[in-house]
Amino acid sequence: MRVLNLVANENAPFFEQQVAVLEERGIKHETLSVPGTHDADNTRSVLDYVRFQAPVLKRSLAPFDVVHANYGLIAPAALLQPNRPVVLSLWGSDLMGTVAPVSKWCARHCDAVIVMSDEMAEEVNGECKVIPHGVDTELFEPMPQSTAQREIGWSSDRRHVLFPYAPDREVKNHPRAARVVSRTDDALESPVELHAVSGIPHDQVPVYMNAADALLLTSNREGSPNSVKEALACNLPVVATDVGDVRSLLDGVDPSFVCRNDDELVRALVETLERNERSNGRHVANQLSLEEMGRRIESVYRTVRD
């Protein structure tokens, strides 16, 4: 089977993992990326997406079995080629944010739609498959915290809270994370430090997760955040806003908390840091493997092809 992938950011780690696991299943891929440069939220100009139509149409003449549009604003280019069935993957911001009307209209006209969570499926309001991004449980696994902290130079005399995004990604709400950590620092005797970590090689992220005492997710919206699943695989406690499928992911995970407001976030983070324990999250992560994700996406491809 041959798949033509259309994507806004072909270097996104979860997209690279998706391609790799499907290739292991014998599916051949070619990727076209939207022209121009993207910012932290994959934002490009309307002209960039218009310019994307010509190369997509030309390349779709090749003997592909499926065109897979990865992101809602890419779907129009996929649908305007008349040669191949279209699978659309919606990643979260494209369905829950300002471009949602485009994504929802396109979803109604694609041969299959994949979303990351049940919450997203409700937004689609039509037939779709819920297939969260998988987590690499061989890369993301527990290691001694002291070893991880020495490797990246974090002090063992402090409590370390990980914010695994660039501070300028507005949807991730770094200012809220900073407020919560500041109030938590006031409530504890040990100093509490917030680390906004982004732009590092993906294979280094597990070291930061094992060095941290908690992951803090303060996003305004999410689909199925990979950072939470990766934290679970490392047994890193999570304190999060109630977005996407986070509540489902953290069901039965201790210590970890889903919160509705800043006060709850502060209380949860204080309790987590006072307990100073790793979570039992890996048992959840083992059910969200890359292999299972690949099997389910392949099933979608075969359905639309046949």
Average pLDDT in the chain: 93
Q: What percent of the chain has pLDDT over 70?
A: 98
- Say which residue, 182 or 223, is predicted with more confidence: 182
Q: What is the predicted pLDDT for the residue at 118?
A: 87
Q: What is the predicted pLDDT for the residue at 272?
A: 98
pLDDT at 190 over 90: yes
Q: What is the predicted pLDDT for the residue at 41?
A: 47
pLDDT at 196 over 70: yes
Smallest Cα–Cα separation from 236: which of 164, 170, 183, 158?
Answer: 164
Q: What is the predicted pLDDT for the residue at 276?
A: 96
- 278-283 average pLDDT score: 96
Pairwise CA distance, residues 179 & 127, whole Å:
40
Q: What is the pTM of this model?
A: 0.77
Q: What is the predicted pLDDT for the residue at 37?
A: 67
Q: What is the predicted pLDDT for the residue at 133?
A: 87
Q: What is the predicted pLDDT for the residue at 92?
A: 81
Beta strands 238-241 and 214-217, pairing class: parallel
> DSSP state, 256?
-
Q: What is the dihedral of CA 250, 252, 258, 264, to 10 degrees?
A: -150
Q: For residue range 255-272, list pLDDT tens digits in order.
A: 999 999 999 999 999 999
pLDDT classification of 125: cutoffs 50, 70, 90: confident
Please report the sign of the dihedral spanned by the C-alpha atoms of residue 288, residue 128, residue 296, residue 52: negative
Residues ≥6 apart with Cβ < 8 Å to 72: 88, 90, 91, 94, 95, 99, 100, 102, 103, 106, 107
Query: Residue 87: in which H helix or E strand, if any?
Result: strand 86-89
pLDDT at 165 over 60: yes
Lowest mean pLDDT among 62-71, 89-98, 261-270: 89-98
- 2-26 average pLDDT score: 92
Q: Are 148 and 208 in contact (CB under 8 A)?
A: yes
- 91-97 average pLDDT score: 82
Q: What is the predicted pLDDT for the residue at 38?
A: 58
Q: What is the predicted pLDDT for the residue at 40?
A: 47
